[in-house]
Structure 1
Amino acid sequence: MTTQTVAGENRTRRAMWGSVGKFAILGVAAFLTLGPVIWTFYTALTPTDPVTNAPAFGLAAFQDVFARIPVWLFIWNSALVTILVAVGQMLSAAMAGYVFARFDFKAKNLIFALILATMMVPMQVTIVPVFILIRGMGLADTLLALIIPALPTAFGTFLMRQYFMGLPPELAEAAELDGAGPWRVFFGVYLPLATPGLAIVGILAFNYHWNEFFRPLIMTISEQNFTLPLGLVTLQGNLGTGSVSTVLAGVVISMIPALLVFVFGQKPLREGLTAGAGK
């Protein structure tokens, strides 16, 4: 056996063990990530039978959730708040980002820096002043208390500003030569080209506000204004009685919309990120 043959076998062996190590690490990471999710679905679908005291496959836990709390009301509240916030953030971020990217005005950089600085302030610091303002407007314990303060987005403004800065300014010049005004240039030329960036803002806003718990806990009191994450808290008493399956069935119900948005929004989200990188 020649020296070259031995060296080639050693390289093959090292490559094989390297691949095994990579798959092992990926397997552990996948187990740690998907394990709790799989356990949640399995426990929700196999509640304990009260007669035999043994797990029984079925949808009894989900029926128990709908029997105990007004799930459809909570889903409606969450959907209304989340969709309006997502659309509002897309519009506000697009308009603010376009202004910061295409217009020059006094103290522009300072104002933009102050907007970015708000990202460093925890929500727990601002929730009390926001609540006082909402109460002064007479909107306490309403869904508008969850929608209006969430419409501006510092991250979305930053993202759309960077996206608009990557688009050629010659498009605006050509549109203005054709007689287009500022609003028409924005809505007719730049906004359609910024669709991938808007998709990122909308998807991230939906996933965040659908699962939001802290603000609804502070802003709402009446059960008819509860969102789904807040409404599911009323099931926590079942943990003390051993009905863990009922609680996890509620968790599964809350996961389904976010999971669907992730599955169907994965492509536009990926296209938006790669488009921004390409520009």
Structure 2
Amino acid sequence: MSALLAPETEAEGLRKLGDPRPRDTRPVSTGRHVARVIGYVVLVVASVGVLMPFFWMVTSSLKEPNDVFSIPLQWLPDVPQWSNYAEIWFESGMLTWLRNTLILSVAVTFLQLLTGSFAAYGFARMRFPGRDWLFLVYIATIAVPWQSYMIPQFILLSNLKVSNTLWAIILLQAFGAFGVFLMKQYYETIPEELSEAARLDGLSEYAIWRRIMLPLSVPALASLGLLTFVNTWNDYLGPLIYLRDPSLWTVQLGLKSFVSNLFDTNYALLFAGLTISVIPIAIIFTLGQRYFVEGIATSGLKG
């Protein structure tokens, strides 16, 4: 019997030796237990408060138009109206709106990942005069509201003949100071000895960025990609200014066309369209949640 237990005991001992974290063997006090329960209750209540509007949006998309804002409030429809989804899909430009929004979101996300990671490598690993001041000035642009330079930007893009095209939105959002900041902070957590060893092996700076830094930065890239995709997907003001042709409308502009006034709007169809527009974001966030949390936790947003 002792021979059978020996391997397990030895393995357990190795695990304890390999784990540098001290183990707290003290019993959990009643006060700590109560505090933990209260913390869980607060988190549950906060989660319900956050998810309640989404639940109401989904249930309202299955109601009759006159039942959406009925008094008293009706949370669940008597008979689910699944025809609302068929109507919003086939009798509006929903497919075109989703296509345009997807094109913009994918293009902007790819360009921000490319430009942000490349510029961040220069700020994190290259040495040149005025590097820190240039980075500080570049990051300071995050504090400048877009509305302050919106008109000059519109004039510039109009002169370039890209207004009323998808290129206007792509060019506007192809570069982002926040992406450079996020990637630079993550790069600084990667040992510089790897870059020095690669230089000794004859790799250029471009090859080091592509073959070493990018593969090691998947969590930060996933975080930046997720944030950029969501912001571009939900953008309303940019497309409102530059995309005047209905064939170029995004989901936000298309759904806004349903709201003529408070009394004529079919809010059941509007909520059905909103639910459809949320589904891609929910899927992407669910798939990338692990990388998003890891990237935010390990990339700077610190120091």
Distance 1:170 1:18 in 2: 45
How do 1:159-170 residues align onto structure 2 when only pairs under 5 Å count? 159-170=182-193
Is 1:140 paired with 2:163?
Answer: yes
Distance 1:15 1:92, change over 3 A: closer
- Could you tell me whether the CA contact under 8 Å between 1:238 and 1:244 is conserved in 2? no
Distance 1:242 1:157, change over 3 A: closer
2:147 maps to which residue? 124
The alpha carbon displacement at 1:15 in A equals 6.4
Provide the aligned length of Structure 1 versus Structure 2.
267
Amino acid at match of 2:178: F
Gaps of 5+ in 1: 1-10
Distance 1:157 1:22 in 2: 35
Distance 2:35 2:66 in 1: 48
Distance 1:181 1:29 in 2: 50
* 2:204 pairs with one of 165, 173, 181: 181
Q: CA RMSD in A?
A: 2.5
Amino acid at match of 2:151: V
Distance 2:193 2:42 in 1: 49
- Could you tell me whether the CA contact under 8 Å between 1:46 and 1:245 is conserved in 2? yes
1:274 maps to which residue? 297
- Could you tell me whether the CA contact under 8 Å between 1:65 and 1:250 is conserved in 2? yes
* 1:41 pairs with one of 43, 58, 71: 58
2:272 maps to which residue? 249
SS in 1 for 2:152: helix
Amino acid at match of 1:185: I
- Could you tell me whether the CA contact under 8 Å between 1:49 and 1:55 is conserved in 2? no
Distance 1:12 1:176, change over 3 A: closer
- Could you tell me whether the CA contact under 8 Å between 2:101 and 2:233 is conserved in 1? yes
* 1:220 pairs with one of 243, 247, 265: 243
Over the matched positions of the two proteins, sequence identity in percent amounts to 30
TM-score by length of 1: 0.87
Deviates more, 1:110-119 or 1:18-27: 18-27
1:29 maps to which residue? 46
> What are the Cα deviations for residues 207-240 of structure 1, in whole angstroms up to 9, with x where unaligned?
1110110110111111011111111101113752
Amino acid at match of 1:236: V
4+ residue segments displaced more than 3 Å: 11-24, 274-278
Amino acid at match of 2:239: P
> What are the Cα deviations for residues 36-79 of structure 1, in whole angstroms up to 9, with x where unaligned?
110110111233599xx985213211122124421111101000
